[in-house]
Amino acid sequence: MLLIEADGKALLAEHGIAVPVGVLGAGTTAVPPGNAPWVVKAQVPVGGRGKAGGIVRCGTRVEATTAVRRVLGSRVKGHRVDLCLIEQAVSGEEHYLAVMVDAASYGLRVLYSAHGGIDIEQSASARSRICMPNADAVCDALAALGGSAPVIAVGQALAGMLLRHELALAEINPLFVAGDACIAGDAKLVVDLAALERQPTIAAMIAARPAVYADANRKLVEGFDYVGLDPGGEIGLVTTGAGLSMMLIDELAARGMKPLNFCDIRTGQMRGSPARLMRVLEWITSHPSLRVVLVNIFAGITDLAEFASLLADALEQSPTLKAPVVARLVGRNAAEAQRILAQRQPRMFVTEDLEAALRACA
C-alpha cells in the first residue's frame, strides 16, 4: 500500500532526510508556509498525481488558495481529495533515487538517475544495481551508479528506513540536489500491510487517516482483506483466497464486466458468526452502481454447509442489499450447501460451475 506523500515525508524526516517546509490542510484556510512560490499537492495514496491535475505550482497566495479550493473535493485517479499538502517550492538539480526489495535475489535493488522527472522509472537514464540488504551495500551500489557523496548519504538513510519499517519501496522523485544539500521533493513509500503488527509507527499513521487509508484500516480493524477497485463497479465480490480472487477479477474484466472490489474473506476465521460477511455486504451495498453480488468460495477445510448457513444469516440481516446474489460454491459439503441455500434463499442462483456463475452475472 502506498502512503500519502505527507506521511511518507514524515518518515523521511524521521530518518534524517531533508524535506521542504510544508503544511497539511483539510480546508481552504490553510496558510502557505514561508515565501512564494509554493506547490499545492493532492494527498491521495496513488502515483501519477501530476498528470491527473493533482499538483499545482503557485506564485502567489491567491493562486495557492485558489488551487487548494479547486483540488479539495476533486477526484484524482478515483480517489477523493480531502487533504492538501502546501509546500515551499525548492530548486536544484532533479535526481531520481529509489531502493526496493528484490525478492528474486533476496536483496535490494537500487535505482538512480541524475535526471528526475515523470516516467523516469521507465527511461534509459535510470540504472539499477542489486545488492545485499544492508545500508552499506546500498552506498556501494550508489557509488557504482555514479551517485555523489550527498546522494549516497540520502541513499544510506533511505535504505535504513526501508529495512527498519519493512517497506517494499522507498522512492524520491525528484531528489533536489544543490551543492552538498539534498531535499526530497516527493516521497513514494510502499508499505507491507502484513508487517503492520511489527510496525506501530506506520500502523498509527494508517489508523489516524481512516478516510485516506480505508482499505488498510479495514484490514487493521477486521482482520481480512477488502480492497475497493472501482467506485463505479457493478459486481460486488465475496470471495476467499487471494490468488483465486484475483483470477476471478481477471475473468470478469476479460468479459467486459466491472468488479467493484477484491476480497479475501478468510472463511476459516468466521468462528461461526456471520459478522464478517455482513461487513463485506455493508461495504458493497454502499455503492449505488452495484448490480449483482458474486460469492465465490473454493473450500478445502471450510465446511460449505456451515458457510451457507452463515451466508443466509448475513443476507437476512442485510436489509440494504437489493441486488441479486450469485453463489459459486465448490468443495467440501457443496451439495448440502446448495440444499441449505435453496431452502433459505430460494431466489439465489447457486452453482459449482464458474462459467455458469459468470453468465448469471452478465
Written as one letter, the residue type at 266 is R
At 86 the pLDDT is: 96
β-strand partners of 108: 101, 131
Torsion over CA: 310, 311, 316, 318 (sign): positive
At 7 the pLDDT is: 97
300 vs 142 pLDDT, higher one: 142
Fold of the 1-19+91-222 domain: D-amino Acid Aminotransferase; Chain A, domain 1 (3.30.470)
Angle between helices 135-144 and 149-164 (to 10 degrees): 140
C-alpha grid cell for residue 220?
A: 487493521
Q: From the options 3.40.50.261, 3.40.50.2300, 3.30.310.50, 3.40.50.10800, give the CATH code of 224-361.
A: 3.40.50.261
Do 176 and 94 contact (CB within 8 A), yes or no?
A: yes
Q: What percent of the chain has pLDDT over 90?
A: 85
φ, ψ for residue 129, nearest 5 deg: -150, 140
At 51 the pLDDT is: 87
At 116 the pLDDT is: 73
> What's the predicted TM-score (pTM) here?
0.83
Q: What is the dihedral of CA 249, 254, 255, 257, to 10 degrees?
A: 50
> Cβ–Cβ contacts within 10 Å for residue 113, how many?
24
Q: Is the pLDDT of residue 155 over 90?
A: yes
Query: What value, to the nearest 5°, has the Cα angle with vertex 204 and ends 203 and 206?
Result: 65
Span 90-144, pLDDT tens digits: 999 999 999 999 999 999 999 999 987 666 656 666 899 999 999 999 999 999 9
Rounded Cα–Cα distance for residues 275 and 165 (Å) = 32
Q: Is the pLDDT of residue 348 over 70?
A: yes
> Cβ–Cβ contacts within 10 Å for residue 131, how many?
22
Separation in Å, CA 357 to CA 2, 142, 251, 285, 327? 34, 52, 11, 20, 7
Q: Domain boundaries in the chain?
A: 1-19+91-222, 21-88, 224-361
Q: What's the rounded mean pLDDT across residues 288-300?
A: 95
Q: Is the pLDDT of residue 82 over 80?
A: yes
At 77 the pLDDT is: 87
Q: What's the rounded mean pLDDT across residues 300-315?
A: 95
Q: What's the rounded mean pLDDT across residues 173-196?
A: 95
> Cβ–Cβ contacts within 10 Å for residue 267, how many?
22
At 117 the pLDDT is: 67
How much is the mean pLDDT over the chain? 93
Q: What's the rounded mean pLDDT across residues 39-55?
A: 92
Q: What's the rounded mean pLDDT across residues 321-325?
A: 96
At 26 the pLDDT is: 84
Rounded Cα–Cα distance for residues 231 and 228 (Å) = 7
Q: In what order do the strands lie in the sheet with 292-299?
A: 235-239, 292-299, 325-331, 349-351
CATH number for region 21-88? 3.30.1490.20
Q: Is the pLDDT of residue 28 over 80?
A: no
Separation in Å, CA 290 to CA 60, 308, 325? 44, 22, 11
Nearest one of 357, 299, 360, 361 to 330, comparing CA atoms = 299
Span 187-245, pLDDT tens digits: 999 999 989 999 999 999 999 999 899 889 988 888 899 999 998 999 999 999 999 99
Span 48-72, pLDDT tens digits: 898 889 999 999 999 999 999 999 9
Decide if 1-19+91-222 and 224-361 have a common fold.
no
Rounded Cα–Cα distance for residues 165 and 30 (Å) = 31
Confidence of residue 172 (pLDDT cuts 50, 70, 90): very high
Do 50 and 28 contact (CB within 8 A), yes or no?
A: no
Task: Find where cell 434463499 sits.
Answer: 345
